[in-house]
């Protein structure tokens, strides 16, 4: 069974769920609005430019999870799915997933965004499994820390290799779809890399490499 691997934010979704979760927290008055909005925007710009310190960002983004119980967080997330995620679901992304599903491929999302935010999104998309940055939990509550290797840049390769060892899958005939130059380490690893609505850096790299470039937003 071949692997069809997908980035999530700005690839299968027409936006960034991590950034939008921050916006949601501000709009709901859950966090200090002015400070959190400013920092959320700063980290997003650093991500797009390839300058993001992932550990620093995770201390920022996981902190609100540690301040509230799971029932409250899940209630907020249901509202977040309706207000922020439903409007950026892409019909062409669903079609692409279905194309690979019909071929018998194993559908795997691999995302830097933490599992609390992305787990319900992956479930909605109907993929077979997901690798995400893992927020640490103790006694049913988030601690604000990260568990293991963040699923970002080279960390995606590390986490995928761990998953391959655990599951017995391999990269023969594998696909990976992404929009971001941050995913170049993994794009270089698979047999079939595809740039999706790519940023400028990835688009140029794909052109030089002869990789396919597609849009799921047109």
Which residues are catalytically annotated?
Answer: 7, 9
Asked if 197 and 179 count as a contact pair (C-beta separation under 8 A), the reply is yes
Beta carbons within 8 Å of 153's beta carbon, 6+ residues apart: 54, 112, 182, 183, 185
Q: What angle do CA 139, 140, 146 make, to 5 degrees?
A: 90
Report d(CA 181, CA 38) in Å as an integer.
24
Q: What angle do CA 50, 129, 19 make, to 5 degrees?
A: 35
Going from the C-alpha of 49 to that of each of 98, 164, 197, 203, the distances in angstroms are: 32, 30, 16, 14
> The tokens 């970002």 sit on which residue?
152
């Amino acid at each position: 069974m071949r692997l069809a691997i997908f980035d999530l934010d700005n690839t299968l979704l027409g936006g960034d769920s991590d950034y939008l979760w921050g916006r949601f927290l501000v709009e709901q008055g859950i966090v200090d609005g002015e400070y959190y909005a400013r920092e959320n925007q700063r980290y997003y710009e650093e991500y797009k430019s390839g300058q993001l310190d992932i550990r620093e960002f995770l201390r920022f983004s996981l902190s609100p999870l540690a301040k509230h119980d799971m029932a409250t967080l899940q209630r907020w997330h249901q509202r977040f799915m309706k207000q922020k995620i439903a409007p950026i679901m892409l019909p062409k992304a669903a079609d692409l997933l279905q194309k690979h599903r019909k071929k018998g491929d194993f559908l795997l999302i691999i995302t830097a965004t933490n599992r609390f935010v992305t787990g319900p999104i992956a479930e909605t998309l109907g993929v077979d499994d997901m690798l995400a940055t893992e927020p640490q939990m103790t006694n049913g509550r988030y601690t604000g820390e990260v568990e293991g290797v963040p699923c970002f840049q080279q960390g995606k390769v590390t986490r995928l290799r761990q998953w391959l060892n655990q599951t017995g899958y391999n990269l023969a005939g594998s696909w990976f779809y992404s929009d971001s130059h941050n995913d170049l380490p993994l794009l270089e690893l698979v047999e079939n890399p595809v740039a999706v609505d790519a940023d400028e850096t990835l688009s140029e790299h794909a052109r030089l490499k002869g990789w396919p470039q597609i849009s799921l937003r047109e």
